[in-house]
Amino acid sequence: MVKSVVKKPVKKTGVKKIAPPKAAAVADLSKFPLGASDTQDVGLSKFTESALKVYGSYVVENRAVPDFRDGLKPSHRAVLWSMVGLGLRPSGGCKKTARTVGDVIGKYHPHGDKSSHDAMATIVNTVPPFVEGQGGWGSPNTPPAAMRYSEAKLSKFAHAFLVDPEYLKVVPYEPNFSNDDVLPLYLPALLPTLLFVTSIPAPAYGVRAGNPAFSLRSVTDVVVRMLNGEKFDAQQLADSLETKHPFGCVDVSKDSDIVELMATGKGKVTYMPLIEHHEKQREIHIRSFAPTTLSNDDNINKTLAKISEIEGVRNAFSRQGKKVKGAGPYGALFVVECQKNISDERFDEIGHSVERIIQTSVSYRLGITVRKQDESNEFRYLNFVQYLNAWVKYRTKLELRLVEQKTKIAQEQLHLFEVYLFAIENMDKLLKALPKVLVAANPDKALAKALRIPEDDARIILDRKVRQLAKMEAGALKEKIKELQAELKQLARDAKRPAARAALVTQDRVEKYLKSPDFTQSGIPV
């Protein structure tokens, strides 16, 4: 038997918090004697199950569930941040994948190189992609090529919506594991990128979380309308969000299933692969992959074997590769050959049977983490209405922080130019005062007294130097001052309506992006 300490019950708050395990402190246990009433007998199997659940919850919630703001798991965030540090911008060249993975595990995410490489492959294959990959980056039934063969850089989407330099200045940072560098607590996402990364909830201790992916256009439309003050309920979200599977499946779910998913965060989406019926040849061509039924070699073989058993089917086989004639945009072709002498009615019946076999439903449950600097991360199950409401609040605060920072910078620049203009317009007084000022014990104080200006302004003038001031033109300074005053007025208006400003920024960036979008790994523009 194993004895465990009985603790006082903790008041439930509706938010599940799991703190990371801490190293045991060395203490004099004789000062804290345990009586019989402080312990209880627990069976070894029950204790083990409980301990595994706690540990599994910690691992999943802190490593495997994305933050609600940038939609990224720590491994994905480390990949993107490493690429920022390596200067892998969309306008530049790629570097070997191994170079990025080396930085990831050496600086920010000290786990296996394979797990980091797999995480990188995930965000290469999102739609839109977060990383632009060159070389073999895998498919549902093919692993990515070795990292020494492939290359990558930041996608246009990531550069515009996840790692914008201005917004990176207003997010919190945390030290890396070795305390010799920093990385963002979360990236300043300008769209709810969680909704572009689909994941099937994997069996795990404590937590199972995952969600379908949606199209960029539909997510943008909802977010812009919400930032502009429109309220959405589950039915409206179901009507507005368009499911978009990264490997070509079509959403054939019942309307009621999608409404339930939006309302509860828990439900199923039914997918159908791309399928064509060639009546004349008596063949059925399946031209994309699908979760569970056509997602890996084992599932593919089982599905094709089941199709082969349908009466009237001669053969069912797979042809893979983007260069295969008749293959779909995802490099998939599954051919069902029927007997040539069957009737049209029987061919239609076989087609319906094939569709029933390859159609698949995936159960999802929306789960997120809220990453914190000085506290334990929080894990929450949400519905989609709650999630988008929370994300819009985050996005509004992010925009307000940017406005406040830009206001501070503009005010500092305005003050600087106003001091320069004062110096130019009072150059005679300045030159007259300088001989005594420059030999004074405190030149800043002496000039401030001579010109009757604040000491800080006197320091600005002396730091700039008279020769540099003389080259400045009063007209140009006045024009710059006018521009800064207009900018500050606009920023003051934006500070009162940060959500509306965020909506305009989002709409503008998405429109620009869609004029020159990334291409998916299948060669299809977003």
Q: Give yes or no: 149 in active site.
A: yes
Say how far apart CA 190 and CA 480 lie, in whole Å: 30
Give yes or no for a contact between 234 and 323, defined as CB atoms under 8 angstroms apart: no
- Could you list the pLDDT tens digit for every one of the 526 residues in the chain? 333 333 334 344 343 343 443 433 333 434 434 444 455 666 776 666 565 555 555 555 556 789 999 999 999 999 999 999 999 999 999 999 999 999 999 999 888 899 999 999 999 999 999 999 999 898 887 889 999 999 999 999 999 999 999 999 999 999 999 999 999 999 999 999 999 998 877 655 567 789 999 999 999 999 999 999 999 999 999 999 999 988 888 999 999 999 999 999 999 999 999 999 999 999 999 999 999 899 888 999 999 999 999 999 999 999 887 788 888 888 899 999 999 999 999 999 999 999 999 999 999 999 999 999 888 888 899 999 999 999 999 999 999 999 999 999 999 999 999 999 999 999 999 999 999 999 999 999 999 999 999 999 999 999 998 888 888 899 999 999 999 999 999 999 999 999 999 999 999 999 999 999 998 887 788 8
Rounded CA-CA distance 229/206 in Å is 36
Q: Which domains, and CATH codes, for the chain?
A: 229-364 (3.30.1360.40), 404-498 (1.10.268.10)
Cα 76 from Cα 183, distance rounded (Å)? 12
> What tokens appear for 430 in the block?
């300045």
pTM of the full predicted structure? 0.85
Residue from 58, 149, 271, 513 carrying the catalytic annotation: 149
Q: Which 3-state string (H, E, C) describes 375-433?
A: CCCEEEECCHHHHHHHHHHHHHHHHHHHHHHHHHHHHHHHHHHHHHHHHHHCHHHHHHH
Tokens standing for residue 372:
């914190």
Determine the Cα–Cα distance for residues 464 and 455; give it in Å rounded to an integer. Answer: 14
Backbone angles phi, psi at 424, to 5 degrees: -65, -40
